[in-house]
A and B are shown apart, each in its own frame.
Chain A
Amino acid sequence: GQQLNQSPQSMFIQEGEDVSMNCTSSSIFNTWLWYKQDPGEGPVLLIALYKAGELTSNGRLTAQFGITRKDSFLNISASIPSDVGIYFCAGYPGGSEKLVFGKGTKLTVNP
Chain B
Amino acid sequence: EPEVTQTPSHQVTQMGQEVILRCVPISNHLYFYWYRQILGQKVEFLVSFYNNEISEKSEIFDDQFSVERPDGSNFTLKIRSTKLEDSAMYFCASMNGNSKNIQYFGAGTRLSVL
Query: Which of B55, B103, B106, B107 is the one whose CB lies under 8 Å from A99?
Result: B103
Which of the candidate stretches A38-46, A60-68, A73-81 sits at the interface with the other chain? A38-46
Within 8 A of B (CB), among A84-99: 88, 90, 92, 96-99
Q: What's the least CB distance linking B7 to chain A, in Å?
A: 13
A91 to B102 CA separation, bound complex (whole angstroms): 10
CB atoms of A31 and B101 under 8 A apart: yes
Q: B105 in the interface, Cβ–Cβ < 8 Å?
A: yes
Query: Which of A30, A33, A88, A96 is the one whose CB lies under 8 Å from B102?
Result: A33
Q: B31 in the interface, Cβ–Cβ < 8 Å?
A: yes
Q: A48 in the interface, Cβ–Cβ < 8 Å?
A: yes
Residues of B within 8 A of A99 (CB): 33, 35, 43, 45, 93, 103
Residues of B within 8 A of A88 (CB): 42-43
Interface size bracket, B side: 20 to 34
Known pairs A50-B101, A98-B33 / 13 extra A-B pairs, C-beta < 8 Å:
A35-B105, A40-B108, A41-B107, A41-B108, A42-B105, A44-B105, A48-B101, A88-B43, A96-B56, A97-B48, A97-B56, A98-B48, A101-B43
CB atoms of A43 and B43 under 8 A apart: yes
Q: A100 in the interface, Cβ–Cβ < 8 Å?
A: yes
Q: Using CB atoms and an 8 Å cutoff, list the residues of chain B in contact with chain A.
A: 4, 6, 31, 33, 35, 41-45, 48, 55-56, 58, 91, 93, 100-108, 110
Instruction: Report if A92-B101 is in contact (Cβ < 8 Å); known contacts: A98-B56, A100-B45.
Output: yes
Nearest chain-A residue to B101 (Cβ)? Answer: A31
A44 to B43 CA separation, bound complex (whole angstroms): 13
Q: What's the least CB distance linking A54 to chain B, in Å?
A: 13
Instruction: Report if A97-B102 is in contact (Cβ < 8 Å); known contacts: A42-B91, A88-B43.
Output: no
CB atoms of B91 and A43 under 8 A apart: yes
Q: What's the least CB distance linking A35 to chain B, in Å?
A: 8
